[in-house]
Amino acid sequence: MRLIHTSDVHLDTSFAGCGMPPGQGNWRRQRLRELLLDILRRAASWPADAVLIAGDLFELGRLNRETVTFLREAFELVRPIPVFIAPGNEDPFVPASPYAVESWPQNVCIFDRPKWSPHELEEIPLTVHGFGFDGPEPSRNPFGTLETPADGRVHVAVAHGAERTHLPSDKAPVAPFDATVAASPGFAYLALGHYHTAVEIAGDFQARVWYSGAPEGLGFHEPGPHHYLEIEIDAEADAPPRVTVRPASVSHTNYVVTTLDCGVLASRDAVVEALRALASVDGGDLVARVSLTGPCPPAMRESFRDVYEGAADAFTFLDLLDETEPAEVFEELAREHTSLGLYVRRLNQQLADTVEDRRRRMLARSREVGLAAYRDSDVAIRGVEGAPR
């Protein structure tokens, strides 16, 4: 038996928090559609016996009519392969949801309530169990209530929720559960959604329990490759099913977050070369946030707009952050018996007493701007679209 497991596609999500201009957000939303099509085409060509979508397929509050049409047509492409959808906290089964009001292809099964429901495939001895959210939080939490009949069939389950022992710091504990309770005896595989990184939940139970993760990162907080899962289940009489899980990369876009120490680079051209070398390492659409760090002479800092223009075409999108420090010896300035020396001494002391990173950057920037004003000199521009910020 062959299954495709994916989740957390988040169609029609907003990319405003990535610092991208509006056109880039539209392009990224289109790419999410394309990667879902890639997954479904793989299901058809492999072929898979079923597709399991473990919630947050779209974001209900932002969903547009065209996306609903796209989904219906996409699921038609894989008929007669059944597609099982377990709505999550972003795409709950509520009266206004397209899950409830639209007509879906016959091969689509949407679990419409927070109660486990079984669906038996006729052609093979496979039963898929699932439940769906009926709001941002389910009105009841079905994890731990599922029982498997001893009927000789292979049983798998698909659901959305937060396994407590692996909860990421950025995720809300919706429908929280413990895998040791949820992985009921007799199950071969539990397909989960909510966490955006592919991870297996291991423990003292027979079932394989996996989060597929989002098939593509949704911002700089989710860098690196992402996956969907291909599952093969070999069932023999009088023996537990053997389950093989293979993460498959499908990402069209790779988010990269890194730093570049300008203190060891001799010139503006060297910074451009280093950025372009970074872009050449990764294939696909590279969306990068690069922080320029280290001590840097004023002439180089003032040329960072030219650095951006010299490197940006190598990336799909480049967010260049100027976090360099002026190549000034502030300790020496602080020893001067001048108003500038007093100003620098006070800021140096505040920096020494501050551990919070954001405030330290603000103080360092204040020191830099004050020095430039005192000397009536230019200061590096930050926060301008199309330039380092």
Model confidence at 383, pLDDT cuts 50, 70, 90, reads very low
pLDDT grade for 386, boundaries at 50, 70 and 90: very low
Quick one: pLDDT at residue 130? 97
Q: What is the pLDDT of residues 265-274, one digit of tens each?
A: 878 899 999 9
pLDDT at 381: 52
Q: Tell me the pLDDT of the chain averaged across its residues.
A: 89
pLDDT score for 352? 86
Task: Kindly state the tokens that stand for 315.
Answer: 């990336």
pLDDT digits (tens, 9 = 90+) for 45-95: 999 999 999 999 999 999 999 999 999 999 999 999 999 999 999 999 999
Looking at residues 366-376, what average pLDDT do you find? 83
Burial class (CB in 10 A: 0-12, 13-18, 19+), 80: exposed
Of 86 and 14, more confident: 86
What is the Cα 381 distance to its own chain's centre? Answer: 31
User: Model confidence at 283, in pLDDT bands (50, 70, 90)?
Assistant: low
Average of per-residue pLDDT across 23-47:
92
Q: Say what the pLDDT of residue 362 is.
A: 86
Q: What is the pLDDT of residue 264?
A: 79
Local confidence band at 282 (pLDDT 50, 70, 90 cut-offs):
low
3-class DSSP assignment, residue 356: coil
Please say whether the beta carbons of 331 and 351 come within 8 A: no
pLDDT at 19: 65
How do residues 148-188 score in pLDDT, each as one tens digit? 888 889 999 999 999 999 998 888 899 999 999 998 888 99
So what's the pLDDT on residue 16? Answer: 78
pLDDT for 115: 96
Q: Could you give the percent of the chain with pLDDT greater than 90?
A: 57
Checking if the pLDDT of 225 tops 80, the result is yes
Say if residue 122 is exposed, middle or buried (CB neighbours under 10 Å; 0-12, 13-18, 19+).
Answer: exposed
| Mean pLDDT, range 293-306, rounded to an integer | 80
Instruction: Say whether pLDDT at 389 is over 80.
Output: no
Instruction: Kindly provide the residue ranges of all beta strands, DSSP E only, lying in 212-327, ordered along the sequence.
Output: 227-234, 242-249, 253-261, 285-293, 295-296, 317-322, 325-326
384 vs 339, which has greater pLDDT? Answer: 339
Render pLDDT for 181-215 as a digit per residue (tens, 0 to 9): 998 888 999 999 999 999 999 998 889 999 999 99
pLDDT band at 328 (very low <50, low <70, confident <90, very high): low
Residue whose tokens read 């955006």: 196
Asked whether residue 317 carries a pLDDT value surpassing 50, the answer given is: yes
Q: How many CA atoms lie within 13 A of 128 on its CB side?
A: 30
For residue 44, the model assigns a pLDDT of 97
Q: Which domains does the chain possess? A: 2-249 (3.60.21.10), 253-375 (no CATH)
Distance (Å, rounded) from C-alpha 139 to C-alpha 113? Answer: 9
pLDDT of 281 higher than 80:
no
Question: Is the pLDDT score of 279 beyond 90?
Answer: no
- pLDDT value of residue 131: 98
Q: What is the arithmetic mean of pLDDT over 118-141?
A: 95
